[in-house]
Amino acid sequence: MKLTSRLKEDIKKYILQRQKAQRDKVKIIAAYKLSQDEIDSLKKSFASFISSEPEVVIDPQILAGVILRKGSKVIDLSLTGKINKLQNVLHEIA
Amino acid sequence: MRSLDQYIKQIEKEISGSSLTSKSKEIGTVLEVKDGVAILEGLDNAFYGEIVEFKNGIKGFIIDLMEDSVGVVVLGDYLTITAGMSVTGTGFILSLPVSEQLLGRVVDSLGQPQDAGPKLRTTTYYPIERIAAGVIYRYPVNVPLQTGIKAIDSLIPIGRGQRQLIIGDRVTGKTTIAIDTIINQKGQNVICVYCAIGQKNSTVANVIDTLKSNDAMDYTIVVNAPAADPVAMQYLAPYSATAIAEYFLDQGKDVLVVYDDLTKHSWAYRQISLILRRPAGREAYPGDIFYLHSRLLERSCRIDKQFGGGSITALPIVETLEGDVSGYIPTNIISITDGQIFLETELFNNGIRPAINVGISVSRVGGNAQTKAMKQVAGKLKLDLAQYRELAAFSQFESELDSETKQLLNRGSRVTQILKQKKQNVYLLGEEVAVLWAATKGYLDEIPVAKIDLFEAKLIQTLRLKGKDIVKKITTSKLLDEESEKQLEKIVKNTVSFL
């Protein structure tokens, strides 16, 4: 199928937009399955960040806590993040 | 003394305070990795020049912002970066740590020590890229920066805050001039920064060794981005060196920066630009190759006293191919700088070292900075040399010359000889003036050309042994009065008779 370059541009834009919308969805990454109460309290604490209905993903690798993601923005409240930070500090001091 | 309760309360407060801090970070993922450059997606709110950190700790900085991707130059081993790796934005603009501790150290483009010395501990960071001081802050160049090299101090004087290009083919002594200048800054209250870009590590080690053996490392910082370093480090090196210089400038100090050399720097930038698919122009250099060096050299300046004073003198080095100064990069940098020192292979091979072609070397602003004593002898010297050059070319075929021409040729060849100087053998102002004074007053005319260097060595020896006072007097007063001239005459005549 042959496409005019104009059409191709438009399709690319549309796909990019859809991808962006997909990426901009709020994602909560947690170490275990969160109860509705916990999700609600997160929503309350981060009212400005969690603007849409969040998707909850379970990742045992983060050990504890949560990571909130929206687009390219991340709020890292996980234990792994804290440990990594500590590791960096120790590395800098040594 | 505070009670235990107070301590506990304070600790409780600290613990409760830190538990709820949440900062949002910018993240992205690696799409592709090319030679030293990574293309990322995400990082929607990143800015130009921001430092990003790859998951494995390697840092990079943003050099390209496109609609849906970000180009990052990797500052480290890019081979360990894989597609899909997550990248965090740090929110910091590219900067490096600066402090007094840098003196005597060898650091890389990001200010990390490369020598065996201790870690640098500082909280002061300077941005690697900074807009140069505006016209309001500037002051004309009128304080000399003595190089300790007779030919330069007399004929192509350099002032503090000047940008003087050193240009020539390979092995013509470009670095030697720069190093000698650094050595001569001992006790002159000048901080020196030597920036090696794309050099062999063995060469840099030699330079450091030379500086150390001449006690010049005490006031010198070496910024080293060798040929083995990622190309991004080579691209950043001169800007980092200037940032370090600006730290000392902001304290009102005089700084000398040597960029060795800018040809390799433009190669590094060309490589980055080509990998980023920026449109290539002449000789495949990108369109902003001119701005690359103009924004760097514009940062050299002399600051007005009322704004703190201080200066950055730049000695950029450019390598030419077979003496072709009309190349793309050489012409660009010649037009940016305040003058140039041309070094020629032919002169070098003829034993005239430093191999400066005084005919085409110029200093556009240094004349105002020359000391009075030097001006007194340099004026006549320039005239002697100019007349000599004019006559020397066609007099080779003439068998019979009138006595006046003979006299001019005679003088010229001796002046050329007396301007020779061995490397790492820098002179005090008083010594330079004394030697050149002897030449312009015609005391050398009777000495055979082959014996000129012997005369010079003897004269310097005498001056350093018996004539300390006169040398000191000229060096500090920067004047050559009648009394000094009489004393000089005595010493010179004595030396001539001794030969």
Give the start-end residues of each E strand in A26-64.
27-30, 55-58
Q: What is the pLDDT of residue B17?
A: 59
- B497 touching chain A per CB within 8 A: no
Query: CA angle B100-B106-B109, nearest 5°?
Result: 95
Tell me if A68 is assigned to some domain: yes
Q: What is the mean pLDDT of chain B?
A: 91
Give the tens place of pLDDT for each residue, B183-241. Answer: 999 999 999 999 999 999 999 999 999 999 999 999 999 999 999 999 999 999 999 99
Task: Tell me: pLDDT of A29 over 70.
Answer: yes
The answer to whether B282 is a known catalytic residue is no
Task: Tell me: pLDDT of B317 over 60.
Answer: yes
- B68 touching chain A per CB within 8 A: yes
Q: What is the pLDDT of residue B1?
A: 57
Confidence of residue B119 (pLDDT cuts 50, 70, 90): confident
B77 by DSSP, 3-state: which? coil
Q: What is the pLDDT of residue B182?
A: 97
CA atoms of B337 and B170, how far apart (whole Å): 20
Q: What is the pLDDT of residue B85?
A: 93
B136: left (phi over 0), alpha (psi -120 to 50) or beta: alpha
Q: What is the pLDDT of residue A2?
A: 66
Q: What is the pLDDT of residue B25?
A: 87
Asked which of A18-22, B240-244, B300-304, B418-422 is least confident by mean pLDDT, the reply is A18-22
Tell me if A11 is assigned to some domain: no
**Residue bearing tokens 């740590």:** B97
Query: What is the distance in angstroms between the Cα of B119 and the nearest Cα belonging to chain A?
Result: 9
Give the tens place of pLDDT for each residue, B441-488. Answer: 999 998 999 999 999 999 999 999 988 999 999 999 999 999 999 999
Q: Residues of chain B with pLDDT > 70: what percent?
A: 97
The amino acid at residue B310 is G
Q: What is the mean pLDDT of chain A?
A: 86
Confidence of residue B154 (pLDDT cuts 50, 70, 90): very high
Domain with A79, as residue range(s), is: 25-93
Tell me if A62 is assigned to some domain: yes
Q: What is the pLDDT of residue B394?
A: 74
Bridge partners of B65? B70
Give the tens place of pLDDT for each residue, B53-95. Answer: 998 889 999 999 988 889 999 998 889 999 999 999 998 999 9
- How many domains is chain A partitioned into structurally? 1
Question: A-B interface: how many C-beta pairs under 8 angstroms?
Answer: 31
Phi (first) and psi of residue B43, to 5 degrees: 50, 50
Tell me if A4 is assigned to some domain: no
Task: Tell me: pLDDT of B393 over 80.
Answer: no
Task: Tell me: pLDDT of A45 over 90.
Answer: no
Query: What is the distance in angstroms between the Cα of A45 and the nearest Cα belonging to chain B?
Result: 10
Tell me if A40 is assigned to some domain: yes
- Enter the ipTM: 0.74
* Given the residues B170, B277, B364, B464, the one annotated as active site: B364
- pTM to 2 decimals? 0.89
Contact A72 B24 (CB under 8 A): no
Task: Tell me: pLDDT of B164 over 80.
Answer: yes
- B97 touching chain A per CB within 8 A: no
Tell me if A1 is assigned to some domain: no
Task: Tell me: pLDDT of B398 over 70.
Answer: no
Confidence of residue B401 (pLDDT cuts 50, 70, 90): confident
Tell me if A65 is assigned to some domain: yes
Confidence of residue A69 (pLDDT cuts 50, 70, 90): confident
Question: B127 Cβ partners below 8 Å, 6+ apart?
Answer: B93, B94, B95, B243
Tell me if A17 is assigned to some domain: no
Q: Which residue of B has its CA nearest to A46?
A: B22
